[in-house]
Amino acid sequence: MISHDSNMIPAREPPATAVGVLAWGKNNLFANPLSALTTLLIAYGLYLLVPPLVQWAFIEATWFGTDSNACSSDGACWAFITARLDQFIYGFYPEEQQWRADLFFAQLVVLIAWLSFKATPGKKWVLGYSLVMMPVVSWFLLYGDLLGLEKVETHQWGGLMLTLLLALCGMIASLPFGVLLALGRRSNMPVIRSLCTGYIELWRGVPLITVLFMASVMLPLFVPEEVVFDKLLRALIGIILFQAAYMAEVVRGGLQAIPKGQFEAFNSLGLSYWQGMIMIILPQAMRLVIPGVVNTFIALFKDTSLVLVIGLFDLLAIIQAGLNDPAWLGNSIEGYLFAGLVFWVFCFGISKYSQRLEQQLHR
Amino acid sequence: MSDYLDEPRLQKPLAKSGQPGVTIQREAAVEQASLIEISGLNKWYGQFHVLRDINLNVRKGEKIVICGPSGSGKSTLIRCINCLEEHQEGSIVVDGTRLTNDLKNIETIRREVGMVFQQFNLFPHLTILENCTLAPIWVRKQSRKAAEKLAMEYLERVRIPDQANKYPGQLSGGQQQRVAIARSLCMNPEVMLFDEPTSALDPEMIKEVLEVMVELAQEGMTMLCVTHEMGFARTVADRVIFMDEGQIIEQAPPEAFFSNPRSERTRRFLGQVLNH
């Protein structure tokens, strides 16, 4: 025990330059002359850039209106966005049926929230539903022609709804398909190995635009009319087949990182190939490839905007279409900024979720 | 069970206690019948002739220590027995099942042959208990409850029941190797293969693993050990086999092997291992 008699030196506050804002500034902004100069230059740059931007985007901006004339010439014309928000979200989905799209969005929000929060029960079942049932349920919910729901043709779908549907179905289907391809490429059986390798090299070697053109234009030329199915579905399958090739290579990287001893250990215990893969190898490999898988997911999310070349109106395409409206000419900056913001929000969300997942798994 | 043992049983046998019946055809249980029969075994890695004309019979309950310089093919030999390595010539029969390319046969044999590796090879994403119950549940089709009970029994035998809910990364090397032994035993194997089980361990941990192995030997488990622990060979081995350049140079009971080795090469090897 330390006795506190008068000879002990009492604790003092540290000097103001050692802690707090001042110390931080001194260490990080003005540590030496060069650092001080850089700080001042950047500050001046921000001073030139930020106030006009805020002025344009917020202070002088027009938020509501019916056409371009309502907008002031000095500020952003967000009225373009607000007036057309419905279309940006639902595409040409009939207005009286839009509750179905709302239900689709609500379903996504609930599922994601359910999987994100720690306390919610039955995660396994919810995940199972999300991965297997959700795409099918969503499809029938939006397409209708079932259980008294009115049929809404897919060419009427569009906007954010279409973007999310394409991206989600693409992600959910391409991951398992990619895993199978990766396992096939590492198989001992020469036929399976060369088939999978050939598939991956073929699909990785062509641009996605080519694949989409093939799906929408070429396929109907070669296949009898009765067999040709919905254009959106064809595009979706094209995206899935394409992304699976990329996914396969990401997963293969993870499989290669698993020590040989793990394979030998499950073999020597008498587990079969599939038992070992599902319970031993893949759980470890998938943990390793989360960053790579998320990278592919984000690329896929943004690649969905390529469906505009085959006449599907995803979020970006429908904003572009809106820019051609005579009533709203000259709003391309606002339109593209909005599209960029929406894409960024979703991609950033995916990235954040994956970081959390990594932290949870790497105890 | 046949009385294949002369050694006193210190405790109740580790293996074969109350396990569900296994349906594989077995040859008539002749007294002193061979559990493993290897004849005319040859193996090549590309052009390299790694195993040459190996003939080896292992009786039930027999304990065999295989030693030899590195690269002599001793690990390869025992890895052929549960088909982690393929051989090109000769035959291996384990407990009446002949090792062929048939996947069913391979899996049958692997169920009866436990293996412990130099690098432990525990599954890092599963707890100790899950490591031990995985194969009994999925291969032996035991209920989770029964498998867990069995696993706890074996974890107690290797003296780490309190670690059951930890992950392998949280354990020391010696503890991990003991878990690996328990994991193999949970499958109630007929024979255990040890591939240099103590070579990756710190000196003070070697002892705790060897103690478990000695106990296992005393309980009558059939064992093939590749090891440089000559003390272990002296204590438990029925036969010591010396291999060099892919061949069995000499095999003898430990007393004869250590005191009166016949071949010059064995003598040289023993001189190197024992004199340091």
User: Which phi and psi angles does B155 have, rounded to 5°?
Assistant: -65, -35
Label residue A348 left, alpha or beta by phi (over 0 means left) and psi (-120 to 50 means alpha): alpha
Task: Indicate the range of A105-119, A285-299, B205-219 predicted with least confidence.
Answer: A105-119
Q: Name every residue in B having a CB less than 8 A away from some CB of A.
A: 82, 84, 107, 110-111, 113-115, 117, 119, 121-125, 134-135, 138-139, 167, 183-184, 187
pLDDT at A290 over 50: yes
What residue has token string 């002088």?
Answer: A60
B-chain residues within 8 Å CB-CB of A261? 117, 119, 121
* Confidence grade of residue A27 (pLDDT, cut at 50, 70, 90): confident
- Return all residues near B156 (Cβ < 8 A) that are at least 6 apart: none
Q: Which residue of A has its CA nearest to B186?
A: A269
Going by C-alpha positions, the residue among B102, B104, B141, B132 that lies closest to residue B22 is B141
Which phi and psi (to 5°) does residue B104 adopt? Answer: -60, -45
Percentage of chain A beyond pLDDT 90 is: 35
pLDDT score, position B272: 86
CB half-sphere exposure, A155, CA atoms < 13 A: 6
* d(C-alpha B173, C-alpha B200), whole Å: 8
ipTM of the complex: 0.84
- Residue A342 sits in which domain range? 153-362
Cβ atoms of A251 and A288 within 8 Å: the answer is no
Written as one letter, the residue type at A184 is G
Do the Cβ atoms of B139 and A271 come within 8 Å? Answer: yes
Q: What is the pLDDT of residue B31?
A: 45
Q: Is A247 left (phi over 0), alpha (psi -120 to 50) or beta?
A: alpha
Q: How many helices (H) and strands (E) does chain B have?
A: 9, 10
Residues 6+ apart with CB under 8 A from A258: A281, A284, A285
Domain count, chain A: 1
A5 found inside a domain: no
In this prediction, residue B104 carries a pLDDT of 84
Nearest to A269 among B119, B124, B139 (CB): B139
Q: Which residues of A touch B99 (CB under 8 A)?
A: none
Does a structural domain hold residue A40? no
Select the more confidently predicted residue: A278 or A129: A278
Q: Say how far apart CA B155 and CA B164 lie, in whole Å.
A: 8
DSSP string, A103-164: HHHHHHHHHHHHHH-SS-S-HHHHHHIIIIIHHHHHHHHHH--BTTBPP--GGG-EHHHHHH
Q: How many CB pairs under 8 A join A and B?
A: 56
Segments of chain B assigned E as strands: 34-45, 48-59, 63-67, 89-94, 97-98, 113-116, 191-195, 222-226, 239-244, 247-252
| A284 chain-B contacts, CB cut-off 8 A | 123-125
In this predicted structure, what is the pLDDT of residue B221?
93
Nearest to A13 by CA among A3, A23, A2: A23
Residue B33 CB coordination number (10 Å): 17
The shortest CB-CB distance from B187 to any of A265, A269, A279 is to A269
Task: Say yes or no for a CB contact (<8 Å) between A268 and B139.
Answer: no
Contact B138 A262 (CB under 8 A): no
Q: What's the confidence (pLDDT) of residue A298? A: 92
Say which range, A104-108, A330-334, B141-145, has the weakest mean pLDDT: A330-334
Q: In whole angstroms, give the CA distance from residue A229 to residue A319.
A: 27
Q: Is residue A121 part of a domain?
A: no
One-letter identity of residue A285: A
Does A54 reside within a domain?
Answer: no
For chain A, the maximum distance between any two Cα atoms, rounded to a whole number of angstroms, is: 100
Could you give the dihedral angle defined by the CA atoms of residues B240, B242, B248 and B253, in that order, rounded to the nearest 10 degrees? -20
Rounded Cα gap, residues B113 and B94, in angstroms: 9
Average pLDDT over residues A202-228: 83
First-to-last CA distance in chain A?
A: 38
What's chain A's Rg over C-alpha atoms?
Answer: 27
Instruction: Report the residue from A261, A271, A275 with minimal CB separation from B117.
Output: A261
Please give the helix or strand (H or E) that residue B153 lies within, else none.
Answer: helix B144-157
Contact between A56 and A76 (Cβ < 8 Å): yes
pLDDT of residue B2: 39
Asked if pLDDT for residue A2 goes beyond 90, the answer is no
Q: Which of B99, B110, B167, B170 to mutate to test the interface with A (most CBs of A within 10 A)?
A: B110
Instruction: For residues A208-232, give the mean pLDDT.
Output: 80
Residue range A25-46: mean pLDDT, rounded: 90
Q: Which residues of B61-96 are buried (b: 16+ CB within 10 A; e: fewer)?
A: bbbbbbbbeeebbbbbbbbbbbbbbebeebebbbbb
- From first to last of its 276 residues, chain B has per-residue pLDDT tens of 333 333 333 344 444 444 444 334 444 444 457 899 999 999 999 999 999 999 999 999 999 999 999 889 999 999 999 899 989 999 999 988 888 888 888 888 999 999 999 999 999 999 999 999 999 999 999 999 999 999 999 999 999 999 999 999 999 999 999 999 999 999 999 999 999 999 999 988 999 999 999 999 999 999 999 998 899 999 899 999 999 999 999 999 999 999 988 899 999 998 888 765
In a domain, A159, yes or no: yes
Q: Are B76 and B50 spatial neighbours (Cβ–Cβ below 8 Å)?
A: yes
Report helix angle A315-323 to A332-361, nearest 10: 170
Give me A70's structure tokens.
Answer: 């309502």
Residue A197 lies in a domain: yes
Share the mean pLDDT of chain A: 86
Within 10 angstroms of residue B216's Cβ, the number of other Cβ atoms is 22
A269–B135: do the CB atoms touch at under 8 Å?
yes
User: Between A190 and B24, whose confidence is greater?
Assistant: A190
Band (A190; pLDDT cuts 50, 70, 90):
very high
pLDDT tens-digit profile of A248-280? 999 999 999 999 999 999 999 999 999 999 999
The residue-averaged pLDDT of A217-237 equals 79
Residue B14's pLDDT is 47
- Kindly determine whether residue A262 and residue B107, on different chains, have CB atoms separated by under 8 Å: no
**Radius of gyration (Cα) for chain B, nearest Å?**
18
Residue A58 counted as domain residue: no
With 0-12 / 13-18 / 19 or more C-beta atoms within 10 angstroms meaning exposed / middle / buried, residue A56 is middle
What is the model's pLDDT at position A127? 83
What is the rounded distance in angstroms from the CA atom of residue A292 to the CA atom of residue A150? 41
Judge: B110–A261 Cβ closer than 8 Å, yes or no: no
CATH of the domain at A236: 1.10.3720.10
pLDDT at B10: 38
Beta strands B222-226 and B63-67, pairing class: parallel
DSSP structure string for A215-279: IIIIHHHHS-TTT---HHHHHHHHHHHHHHHHHHHHHHHHHHHS-HHHHHHHHHTT--HHHHIII
Is the CB of B84 less than 8 angstroms away from the CB of A269? no
A49 inside domain: no
> Out of A264, A271, A275, whose CB is closest to B117?
A264
Which residues, in sequence order, are CB contacts of A81 under 8 Å at separation 6+? Answer: A88, A334, A335, A338
